Structure 1
Amino acid sequence: MRTVAVVGTGLIGTSAALALTGRGVAVYLEDADPDAARTAASLGAGTTEAPDGPVDLAIIAVPPALVGKVLADCQRRGLARSYTDVASVKAGPRAEVAALGCDTTHYIGGHPMAGRERSGPLAARADIFEGRPWVLTPTPDTGTEALNAALELVALCGGVPIVMDAAAHDRAVALVSHAPQLLSSIIAARLEQADETAVRLCGQGVRDVTRIAASDPLLWGDILSANAAAVADILQEVAADLGSTVTALRALQAADEGERRAGAAGIEAVMRRGNTGQARIPGKHGAPPTRYETVTVVLGDQPGELGRLFGEVGQLGVNIEDVTIEHSTGQQVGHVHLDVAASAVRPLVGGLRDRGWALRD
């Protein structure tokens, strides 16, 4: 692959362009907003000049509702030899592509499972796809050339290709992406009118749950409208769980001991179901989930402290499997949670204390 056109220079389009230019591919940028395309170009994502002839692949990086229209226009102009999109919903765009009479032999749907709570070209990162699933949804008439071009795109961007049926993809992302986005927003909305004293108590739990609530409402409106039925089905199941959980919580305050026991059992049951579901989430590098031990280090808010900590952990010969940082409200310190193998806990704790680091039990 030598030449690629990216039509739509938002977060995903610009990130793909950055990854491709970094691999020596010539990238041509287009956007309905010329300023967005120029911004992407200024970041090194490619050029806003038109290609001399058909490029090897065109990436349609626009909202789901626009994929069919933009693809039809690109094919009419003969922009590329093969085409793919990166929309987060697949069945609706596929139906529109067919209805508009687009050439589906040279087109394959795609969806990189990567993103951020920020949007636009300035939020783009060349490494955003590294190790992340990239779903491809070929139709029965998708040609080998289009499939191979999409597979090469995924490889150049560092993604992991997964071939799925479009409808199955939409049901899956409703569960693992779209419904969580709404639930995060719903929880964060409770903070809108909350007492300032309560807000100041926000810890890592609420920060984790509400992180993606900072996402762009207009962008998510486009996504959710294209997958509304599947998301509504998931939320209806969640609503049923919430209803039974509310009943169980009320029962905990009942005068009757039997009701209180039933309420406690109800809470335990939903928590255990949550334990089981969370344990199914793939672990590091997509491997089966692994239980690590956590070592918590108290870190001052000074430049270079985090790098010094990581350097000294490396000198101790310990591999950090995962890391999270919990910020302390009103204090210039944070808590760095280092997830490590159980066998590494004792030497890590001893070594860090010998080097003067403060650890939290």
Structure 2
Amino acid sequence: MRTALVIGTGLIGTSAALALAGRGVRVHLADHDPAQARTAASLGAGTADEPDAPVDLAIVAVPPAYVAATVADAQRRGLARGYLDVASVKGGPRRELTELGADLTHYLGTHPMSGRERSGPLAATADLFEGRPWVLTPTPDTDTEVLNLALELVSLCRAVPVVMDADAHDRAVALVSHTPQLLSSLVAARLADADESAVRLCGQGIRDVTRIAGSDPRMWMDILAANPGPVADILAAVAADLDATVAALRGLQSADEEKRRSGASGVEDVLRRGNAGRDRVPGKHGAAPATYEVVTVLIGDQPGELARLFADAGRSGTNIEDVRIEHATAQQAGLAQLMVEPSAAPALTAALRERGWAIRS
């Protein structure tokens, strides 16, 4: 791939453009808002000038509702040898393209499974897709050259290609992406009118659950409007679980011993099913999640503290598998939770204590 055209210079489009430009591809940028394309160009994502000849690949990075019309228009204008989109929904745009009479042999629907709570070109990074799954949804009619161009794009963005059926993809993302977004928003919405004394008690658990609730509502309306059926099906199943859990909790309040036992069993069942589901979430390098030992270190809230902690951990010869930071409310301190292999925890703890770090159990 020598040339590419990115249509839509938001977070995903600009990130792809940055990755391609950084690897020697000449990237042209287009957007319904020319100022946004110029912003992306100023970041080094390419040029806002129109290509003077068909490019190798056109990457359509617009909301799902506009994918079909944008791809069909680009094909009519003969802008590229191959066309793909990066929207988060795949079945609908393909059906719309069929209705528009577009050339599906030179089109491929794709979806990089990566994003951020922020949107727009200023939130873009060249490494946004690194190590992340990038779904490709070819059909028997997909031209081999287009599939190869898509695979090259995924490789240049250092993502991991995953081939799926378009409708199976939409059901999958409804489960692992779209429904979690709504559930996070529903939990966060409980905080909007909560008493201030309750909000002040917020800890790491509520921060974890509500992190993605900070996403752009307009962007998510575009996504959910393109995949409402599968999301509604999963939410209906969640609603049934919620109803059963509410009934179980009411049972725990009962004076009747049998109802209390039944309620406890119901609550324990949903917690255990949650454990089983969480165990299936891929861990480091895509493998099954490992059980790590947590070494908790008190750190001050000043520049250089984390760098010093990581440097001291590195000197101990310990590989940190994961890290979390829990912030202390209204205090200039926090707790850094270093996840390590269980066998490495004693040596790391001893080494950090020797260097003056306060370890918390």
TM-score, normalisation: structure 2: 0.99
How far is 1:76 from its partner?
1.2
For 2:88, the equivalent position in structure 1 comes to: 88
User: Residue 50 of structure 1 aligns to which amino acid in structure 2?
Assistant: E
The separation in 2 between residues aligned to 1:196 and 1:187, in whole angstroms, is 16
Q: Distance in 1 between matches of 2:168 and 2:221?
A: 21
Match of 1:325 in 2: 325
1:27 aligns with 2:35: no
Q: Deviations over 1:263-301 (max 9, x none)?
A: 111111000000000000001010122111111111101
Give distance in 1, aligned partners of 2:47 and 2:192: 42
Counterpart in the other structure of 1:105: 105
Could you say which residue in structure 1 is the equivalent of 2:173? 173
Identity of aligned residues (%): 70
Letter in 2 for 1:318: T
* CA distance in structure 2 between the partners assigned to 1:335 and 1:36 by the alignment: 39
Amino acid at match of 2:167: A
Residue aligning to 1:125: 125
> 2: distance between equivalents of 1:249 and 1:11?
43
Distance of 1:63 and 1:46 partners within structure 2: 21
> Which residues of 2 match residues 1-361 of structure 1 at below 5 A?
1-361=1-361
Name the CA distance, whole Å, in 2 between partners of 1:72 and 1:160: 27
Distance 1:334 1:13 in 2: 36
Q: Deviations over 1:210-230 (max 9, x none)?
A: 000011111100100110000
User: Offset of 1:139 from its aligned partner?
Assistant: 2.1
Structure 1, 168-177 or 132-141: larger mean CA deviation: 132-141
The total of aligned residue pairs comes to 361
The alignment's C-alpha RMSD in Å is 0.6
1:37 Cα deviation (Å)? 0.6
SS state at 2:141 partner = coil
Tell me the secondary structure at the aligned position of residue 138 of structure 1.
coil
1:49-105 Cα shifts (integer Å, max 9, x gaps):
011201110100001110010001111111110011000000000001111111111
SS at match of 1:281: coil
Q: 1:140: Cα distance to partner?
A: 2.2
**Within 1, Cα distance between the matches of 2:37 and 2:270?**
48
SS of the residue 2:192 aligns to: coil
TM-score (norm 1): 0.99
Secondary structure of 2:277's match? helix
Unaligned runs of 5+ in 2: none
For 1:238-283, what per-residue CA distance to the aligned partner results, in whole angstroms no more than 9, with x for missing partners?
Answer: 0000000000111111001111111111111000000000000001
Secondary structure at 1:189 match in 2: helix
SS state at 1:59 partner: strand
Report the Cα distance in structure 1 between the residues aligned to 2:287 and 2:134, rounded to whole angstroms. 17
User: CA separation in 2, counterparts of 1:293 and 1:244?
Assistant: 34
User: Hey, what's the Cα distance between the residues in 1 that align with 2:35 and 2:294?
Assistant: 46
- 1:310 maps to a residue whose letter is F
